[in-house]
Structures are given as structure tokens and as C-alpha cells.
A = this chain, B = another copy of it.
């Protein structure tokens, strides 16, 4: 293939991004960042470039990250045993300190630095900053089905999000990168599931898209084939008939709530694919499952 032709192919592909940039220009996209995309070097780099590119072409990315594995590693290192209840880590105050240190001090700043290295200007936030994520203790029912509540410590849910600090950064050249930690009215820190924070934030910011980067292909049907587009109603059917189950359930729940509360579309995409974010937003190549309201 001659150089000329390769160049023209490039140009054609760039030009094909035009309608997508037009559609999402000036809009906000909340991205839950986690899984392999957050641990494999090449994927990390590509993710950072994708985020910077979106910002430059006039789309406002807001990144919410997880960090469960990193927390687990560090707890092990300091010789702290982790106990889990219904998939959630029982989080005493000492564990919560470790959570804040790992998420806010290490993971968050690594992502910030990665984006900065690509020419972006990321600013890391925890929900304590400007008190913007107000949290409350998550109430968990015992599995025995009786009315007793389990105490799993500083695990929280979102009570209210004050979008001012995020919007302020958004409206400038800055890219907000958010650690999913909330602050109770009493000043206590709470560890919140990152999908939940991303979903809530997408609703509060009236985002165009909620994108959940996962280590799966997306939502699969019973024969294991990818379902590329689903309505809220179809999703509920798939939950009812057991097609969607297990670890996908909480993610699908965040997605559903978002599209039922003003977010145009939610996406459960495969973060293991290089440039998954860019493909999802700027091309017609779907890399997972799109969910829309109605």
C-alpha cells in the first residue's frame, strides 16, 4: 500500500468521526474506570490518551475510578484480614483509612499523572473535597431474611452530590478524576461502590453517557452472544428470566437508573479492547452493550 493511500485512509477515518463529535460536543460523559484497563500498562496509556482526546474535541469526560484489588493488596501487606459480606468488604475505621490512602493517595494520583503525561490537566478529587459527595451508611439486610441489619462498617451509599466543584473543573480545561469516597454529615468517610458513584454523578451532571469499563464483553444472551443494544424494558426482561445475573446485576442496575433519570445512554463496554472508550464514543464500532431508556 502506497504512503499516499495510507494517508488517505487515515483522513477518511478521521472524517468519519465528525458526526460523533458533533453529536456529543459540549456534552459530559461519565466514565467508570476499572478492571484490566486500569492495570495493564498499554491499556492504561490508551485510556489516558482517549480521555485527553475527548476533552480536546469538546466533550467533557469525568472519570470515576475503583481500586478494589489495590486495596486488597495493601491490606494484605499491612497484615489486615479482609472479611466480605454479600460481596462487600467489611470496613472498620482502620480499613477505611487504608481505603482512603490507596484510592485517594495512590490510585487517584496515578491516573491523574497518567492523563497529565498525555497532555491533559487532570485534577483528582475524593468526595470529601468541597464535601461534594454526601454519603450515608449502607444498610445491609442479613441473608437469613430476618429483619436484622448487618454492620459492615464504613460502607456507604450516595445521599446527595453537589456538582459545583466538578462542573467548575469541567467548564475549564481540567479533567476531574474521582475517588469513590463519600463524607457523612458527621464528617466520617465512607467507601462507596464506584459504579454507584459514576451512575449518580451522571444523573446529577445530566450527562450524555454513562460508560462502565468492565472486564467482560458486555451483556450476553443465554447462548453467550453479545447483546449490542437493549432498552430498559428489555433489560428488565433479561433480569426476570435470569439471563442477567450475578456480578452483572449491580452494574446493569446503575445503568438502568441512569437512563431512567435523564442520562441518554449507558454503556457496559469491554475495557480490555484497546481504545475501547474512543471506539465507543467516536466510531460506529460498538464494543459492548448500549442501554437506553423507554
A residues contacting B by CB (< 8 A) are 3-4, 6-19, 21-22, 25, 46, 49-50, 52-53, 56-58, 77-78, 97, 100-106, 108-109, 112-114, 116-119, 121-126, 128-131, 165, 168, 172, 174, 181, 183, 187, 189, 273-275, 278-279, 282-283, 285, 287
Cα(A279)–Cα(B109), bound, Å: 36
Q: Is A11 touching B279 in the complex (CB atoms < 8 A)?
A: yes
State which of B11, B12, B57, B126 has its C-beta within 8 Å of the C-beta of A58: B57
25 pairs of residues in contact across A and B, judged by CB atoms under 8 Å: A7-B279, A8-B275, A10-B279, A12-B274, A15-B46, A18-B53, A21-B53, A22-B52, A22-B119, A57-B57, A58-B58, A100-B109, A101-B101, A105-B105, A105-B106, A105-B108, A113-B183, A116-B183, A117-B187, A121-B165, A123-B125, A124-B126, A124-B128, A168-B168, A168-B172
Q: Is B183 touching A174 in the complex (CB atoms < 8 A)?
A: no
Q: How many copies of this chain are found per oligomer?
A: 6
A189 and B113 in contact, given A22-B56, A53-B14 (Cβ under 8 angstroms): yes
Closest 9 CB pairs of A and B: A105-B105, A11-B275, A7-B285, A101-B105, A101-B101, A104-B105, A123-B129, A57-B57, A116-B131
Q: Is B273 touching A4 in the complex (CB atoms < 8 A)?
A: yes
Closest partner residue, chain B, to A276 (CB atom): B11
Cα(A13)–Cα(B15), bound, Å: 11
Chain A contact surface mostly: helix
State which of B25, B57, B123 has its C-beta within 8 Å of the C-beta of A21: B57
State which of B3, B11, B106, B119 has its C-beta within 8 Å of the C-beta of A100: B106
Closest partner residue, chain B, to A124 (CB atom): B129
Q: Is B117 touching A109 in the complex (CB atoms < 8 A)?
A: no
